[in-house]
Amino acid sequence: QQPVQSPQAVILREGEDAVINCSSSKALYSVHWYRQKHGEAPVFLMILLKGGEQKGHEKISASFNEKKQQSSLYLTASQLSYSGTYFCGTHGAGSYQLTFGKGTKLSVIP
């Protein structure tokens, strides 16, 4: 079952912040975040394991609330290069499946 991402799309001006959410109805062991540019393959950004840790990657960070089975991706001071579609992927406890959400299209405009 695919995790649910929100919003489906967001438009930002350079320098603005955004939050992308990912939730699952299943118990999660880990949450992955990926970014895909148009016409390219998805690229791994970061992984969060259960335990509520927060990770950072440049000005992009994420958190994982295992009690709520939710993860959020935070993009601060957005840059044009942040444009793309962001996917969360989830591993359930005891599962080898890596299942992705439908994606959130982020557009950063000057």
Partner 1 sequence: DAGITQSPRHKVTETGTPVTLRCHQTENHRYMYWYRQDPGHGLRLIHYSYGVKDTDKGEVSDGYSVSRSKTEDFLLTLESATSSQTSVYFCATSRDSLIGAFFGQGTRLTVV
Q: Which residues bind to partner 1, rule: CB under 8 A?
A: 1-2, 5, 29-30, 32, 34, 40-47, 49, 87, 89, 91, 96-103
Q: Which is nearer to partner 1, 19 or 47 (CB)?
A: 47
Q: Which is nearer to partner 1, 12 or 22 (CB)?
A: 22
Q: What is the CB neighbour count within 10 angstroms for residue 102?
A: 14
- HSE-CB at 24 with a 13 A cutoff on CA atoms is 27
Supply the minimum distance, in Å, between the C-beta of residue 18 and partner 1.
18
Supply the minimum distance, in Å, between the C-beta of residue 38 and partner 1.
12
Supply the minimum distance, in Å, between the C-beta of residue 103 and partner 1.
5
Cα angle, residue 102 at apex, residues 100 and 106 outer, rounded to 5°: 115
- Among residues 106, 95, 105, which one has the least CA distance to residue 1? 95
